[in-house]
Structure 1
């Protein structure tokens, strides 16, 4: 196979942070300095308000929603990208009648160090 693909499996999603998700890392063929997942917010749902030590990006793929971050609400629609600094309390609000889909990517220093160490080991072998 020329390319490795992970297919979105609608029938096998996990329920995390109040959303339906599919984790994409770890992935045996990809050594990456980040982790990621697809996330689906069903109509009239809100994800769990949370914060964490990682940096995080949401990339809106389909639909529209609102992002709440540290008490402020901002419209978020397909084509938009949002960045959350570590420690920011955030969640996604989908008060509409349509499913909202986004891709989430997060990283921290430990992930970056692990990535660099694995690449160094490969080049030194």
Structure 2
């Protein structure tokens, strides 16, 4: 039987200057990654940061800009951006409407845990 994990827009959590919900990890889904639905409100920008994980942002609704290591590029619904470990990044929403994206991240430890749960050695 499949499971559905619903987005709870009424109870989003503030993090990195945006509103989000961590939908992964999810006990029913044995995945080597984690993820969150993110909403950047109109006229706001997320907190610039860098980390050791690999990361993907998938733009779902609206238009914003992604700034990676000082380079600013348009980021629009349907786009996907890959962020290598250590890259300084943030999202800027200069528009009048909220911007929504899904972030997915992973690292070696998550991958090793996934393999271990399947009885495999990295």
Verify the 8 A CA contact 2:25 2:33 in the aligned structure 1.
Answer: no
**Is 1:96–2:86 an aligned residue pair?**
no
Aligned twin of 2:23: 24
Which runs of 4 or more aligned residues in structure 1 lie more than 4 Å from their structure 2 counterparts after TM superposition?
none
TM-score calculated relative to the size of structure 1: 0.94
Q: Secondary structure at the match of 1:27?
A: coil
Alignment of 1:70-81 (within 5 A): 70-81=69-80
TM-superposed deviation, 1:26? 1.9
Q: Report the Cα distance in structure 2 between the residues aligned to 1:28 and 1:57, rounded to whole angstroms.
A: 21
TM-superposed deviation, 1:25? 1.6
TM-score calculated relative to the size of structure 2: 0.96
Aligned twin of 1:47: 46
TM-superposed deviation, 1:15? 0.4
Aligned residues: 120
Q: Secondary structure at the match of 2:119?
A: helix
Root mean square deviation of aligned Cα: 0.9
Structure 2 gaps of 5+ residues are none
Q: Report the Cα distance in structure 1 between the residues aligned to 2:7 and 2:24, rounded to whole angstroms.
A: 13
Aligned twin of 1:62: 61
Aligned twin of 1:10: 9
Q: Report the Cα distance in structure 2 between the residues aligned to 1:51 and 1:23, rounded to whole angstroms.
A: 19
Structure 1 gaps of 5+ residues are none
